[in-house]
Amino acid sequence: MSAPAYTLRRYEAADEDAAIELWRRTWQAAYPHLDFAARTDWWRNRWRDELVPVAEIVVAEMGGALAGFVTVDPASGYLDQIVVAPEAWGGALAAALVDEAKRISPSRLDLLVNKDNVRAIRFYEKHGFQYAGEDVNPVSGRPVNRMAWRR
């Protein structure tokens, strides 16, 4: 069997700019009608103030570039972000990042996913997550599904 086309490693502070840009680019591909460039400062502040201090972050590299990441708070089991570069969608990278999330929080994971993101919902279901109710994203006000995975 051939080695995967990506490598996984722990996040380092030097990855910040690439992670923010990947986050923006990925959401722009998923929601092309929204202007995510205008949110870059907000994302950077959220990254620095809300995610990095509490989450374990694993990044994926392909060809020397950041191609994905997952952020999980090991204390709560909350999977805040799983981001995969659009050119890697449909490949093995997203599954590897979910496996990393399960390694970080081996008994439980919880997440919110936009109700209109059918692709992501199907992906999470395929990886053992179950619908756990409805909610509203506290930032965007958009309707979301709560999803849970339990060992």
**pLDDT tops 70 at residue 51:** yes
Radius of gyration over every alpha carbon of the chain, rounded to an integer in angstroms = 15
What's the per-residue H, E or C state across the chain? CCCCCCEEEECCHHHHHHHHHHHHHHHHHHCCCCCCHHHHHHHHHHHHHHHCCCCEEEEEEECCEEEEEEEEECCCCEEEEEEECHHHCCCCHHHHHHHHHHHHCCCEEEEEEECCCHHHHHHHHHCCCEEEEEEECCCCCCEEEEEEEEC
The mean pLDDT value for 124-148 works out to 92
**Pair of tokens at residue 3:** 């080695």
Q: What is the pLDDT of residue 12?
A: 97
Higher pLDDT among residues 94 and 139, named by residue: 94
CA 54 to chain centre: 15
Domains and CATH numbers, the chain: 7-150 (3.40.630.30)
Distance CA 149, CA 67 (A): 24
Read off the pLDDT band of 3 (50, 70, 90).
low
